[in-house]
């Protein structure tokens, strides 16, 4: 279980760093800060995200799940807020785009790491 959580943090860090490289509107101060952001994001995904998902369940059902990208963007913005100037997102629209890219990268990387770690 701990190994899966560590893999999740590393995958989040790689995805966050890749998004920061791809998008000029997102800045992160190196891979060490990406690891810290990955840790914070994974904690927020365990604590805050389920609350947001339950509170926004009606709109999520109406949008056939697409509103979950907004929930992911909110957790990204919370992560950036907690990290201060080490992790900056220039706006909500960029956070939604980053959430979409991070979701795709996380899916690909987790499938890759599950095959390697298992």
With contact defined as beta carbons under 8 Å apart, do 58 and 36 qualify? no
By the 10 Å C-beta count (0-12 exposed, 13-18 middle, 19+ buried), 34 is classed as: buried
With contact defined as beta carbons under 8 Å apart, do 97 and 26 qualify? no
- 102: tokens are 């991070």
Residue 2 banded pLDDT, cuts 50, 70, 90: confident
Q: Write the pLDDT tens digit of every residue in 21-72.
A: 999 999 999 999 999 999 999 999 999 999 999 999 999 999 999 999 999 9
Q: Write the pLDDT tens digit of every residue in 67-86.
A: 999 999 999 999 999 999 99
pTM of the model: 0.90
Q: What was the pLDDT predicted at 3? A: 83
* Per-domain boundaries in the chain: 2-117
Compute how many other C-beta atoms are within 10 angstroms of the C-beta atom of residue 31.
14
Q: What was the pLDDT predicted at 118? A: 61
Q: What was the pLDDT predicted at 35? A: 96
Residue 114 banded pLDDT, cuts 50, 70, 90: confident
Residue 79 C-alpha from the chain's centroid: 9
- 89: tokens are 């997102």
Better pLDDT: 72 or 113: 72
With contact defined as beta carbons under 8 Å apart, do 89 and 77 qualify? yes
């Amino acid at each position: 279980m701990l190994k899966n959580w560590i893999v999740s943090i590393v995958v989040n860090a790689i995805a966050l760093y890749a998004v920061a490289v791809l998008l000029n509107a997102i800045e992160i101060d190196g891979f060490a800060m990406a690891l810290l952001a990955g840790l914070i994001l994974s904690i927020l995904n365990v604590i805050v995200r389920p609350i947001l998902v339950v509170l926004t369940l009606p709109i999520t059902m109406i949008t056939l799940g697409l509103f979950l990208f907004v929930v992911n963007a909110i957790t990204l913005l919370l992560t950036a807020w907690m990290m201060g100037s080490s992790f900056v997102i220039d706006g909500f629209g960029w956070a939604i785009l980053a959430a979409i890219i991070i979701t795709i990268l996380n899916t690909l990387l987790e499938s890759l790491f599950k095959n390697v770690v298992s």
